[in-house]
A = this chain, B = another copy of it.
Amino acid sequence: MSNATPYKVYLTESELPKQWYNLRADMKNKPAPLLNPATGKPATFAELSRVFCDELARQELDDSTKFIDIPQEVLDFYKMYRPSPLVHAEFLERALGTPAKIYYKFEGNNTSGSHKLNSAIAQVYYAKQQGLKRVTTETGAGQWGTAVAMACAFFKLQCHVFMVKVSYEQKPFRREVMRTYGATVTPSPSTTTEAGRRILAEFPGTSGSLGCAISEAVEEAVNTSDCRYVLGSVLSQVLLHQSVIGLETQLALQKLGVKPDIIIGCAGGGSNLGGLIAPFAGEKLRGEADYQLLAVEPASCPSLTRGVYAYDYCDTGKICPLQKMYTLGSGFIPSPNHAGGLRYHGMSAVLSQLYHDRVMDAVSVTQSEVFEAAELFARTEGTLPAPESSHAICQAIKEALKCKKNGEAKTIVFGLTGTGYFDLAAYQKYNDNEMTDYIPTDAELAASFQNLPNF
């Protein structure tokens, strides 16, 4: 197959973004402010900076500065694995026999195995700048914890990761990557925190959840000097850092002379999707261009498509600020049968607002169809995708097949957030035809919504 356009576009180092793009500056309807759970009032800088580094607290509150300089030390680190390639999926197109053009932005070419490193290195840099010695965080599937461990190794900070117990036990190799980078890894819930002890007392056999691990990590951070907490998704600061994905994608597409019709990303807390679509959503909000922006979430944890838009707790222990978001309720725990990440009960405030304002659409897909798409992608495009990323692949394939049916040559861009090297237990289930789907019933969701706070 010969092709006029290149298969892959790498920007040059001089073309790499030097600033992050803050989409909130272009939103007329700003995301609702975080609330202090004790007072019900908007969280202040003083309150946030007990949990987060000062600069990150400022970024969290800043909904007006459009571009924020990426520190030189972070740019230096980005050089190690960025630019990530924008790939023309011509082998997948050929396998589907579609007139659609499919491109994907591949963020998996680094040891954390995902885009998470883009924000981890920024957050750890600011911690170091502030003179801190240590950060805490939580991890579920493990990408975020690995990314923070790598960033801490680079800047020589200590790193304590609370790893959701079921992942800690099922993914010992993820744990070993983090240890290789010098991190301490504790299964959550643990007995080292008040939040952990409370949850263990109430649910002695629990296999843990992200919301619980967040409570533990935050509690340790606020009770330890020289320490702050870092979070890999949901927060607006994270979407800001992840805008580097979208900015690179935008420039690479411009260099190719390609205008996308549909931009697709998987959505758990929203870090990848929010970063990928940021500059395109900005153009859309400013009336300069139109794109279909599409969030893909698991049918087993459908916060956008079946959640409610309300203030909710971000963590099980209810010690973090409240956020207005599409949520399934902070007590919602998706089926353990669901592989990979995308298990969080809520969605980024920025993306929630965009969805509420119909700037962005959302769909959900089942686990079986996700792995079917993953296998086809692996066999045609070579790369073994992460289950998370495969949600986007699945939807991209559906859109491409719609184009085939309708004879439309749309241009589809999706985010391939990471690789599936640590998800082979899930692949094994799929290979052995033992994979099951789980979709929560309306009654289950209604019960979960009962726990929403009154704000």
Contact = CB atoms under 8 A, between A and B. Distances in A.
A74 to B, nearest CB: 12
A375 B111 CA distance: 13
A8 B13 contact: yes
Find the residue from A2, A182, A379 having the highest chain B CB count within 10 A: A379
A431 interface: yes
Given A154-B382, A173-B173, A177-B421, 8 more contacts: A6-B12, A7-B80, A77-B382, A111-B383, A111-B384, A113-B421, A180-B378, A180-B384
Interface string A138-162: 0000000000001001100000000
Interface string A170-202: 001100110111100000000000000000000
A177 B428 CA distance: 9
A366 interface: no
A422 interface: yes
Nearest to A78: B7
A378 B111 contact: yes
- List 8 tightest A-B contacts by C-beta distance, closest first: A173-B424, A153-B379, A421-B421, A7-B79, A176-B424, A111-B384, A80-B382, A176-B428
A440 B79 CA distance: 42
A428 B175 CA distance: 9
Contacts of A154: 91, 379-380, 382
A118 interface: no
A382 B421 CA distance: 17
Interface string A418-438: 010110110110110000000
Contact of A384 (B77, B177, B384, B430): B177
Contacts of A176: 424-425, 427-428, 431
A110 B177 CA distance: 19
A39 interface: no
A94 B176 CA distance: 26
A153 B177 CA distance: 29
A86 B431 CA distance: 36
A10 interface: yes
A375 B183 CA distance: 13
21 contacts: A8-B13, A8-B79, A80-B91, A80-B383, A111-B378, A111-B383, A111-B419, A153-B378, A154-B379, A154-B380, A154-B382, A173-B424, A173-B425, A176-B424, A176-B425, A176-B427, A177-B421, A179-B428, A180-B378, A180-B430, A181-B378
A55 interface: no
A384 B180 CA distance: 9
A72 interface: yes
Contacts of A428: 172-173, 176, 179
Nearest to A1: B76
A448 interface: no
A109 interface: yes
A381 interface: yes
A81 interface: yes
A180 B431 contact: yes
Nearest to A371: B180
Interface in A343-386: 375, 378-384
A83 B6 CA distance: 12
A380 to B, nearest CB: 7
Given A13-B8, A173-B424, A180 B375 contact: yes
A92 to B, nearest CB: 11
B381 A80 contact: yes
A427 B180 contact: yes
A177 B8 contact: no
A85 B150 CA distance: 21
A12 B380 CA distance: 22
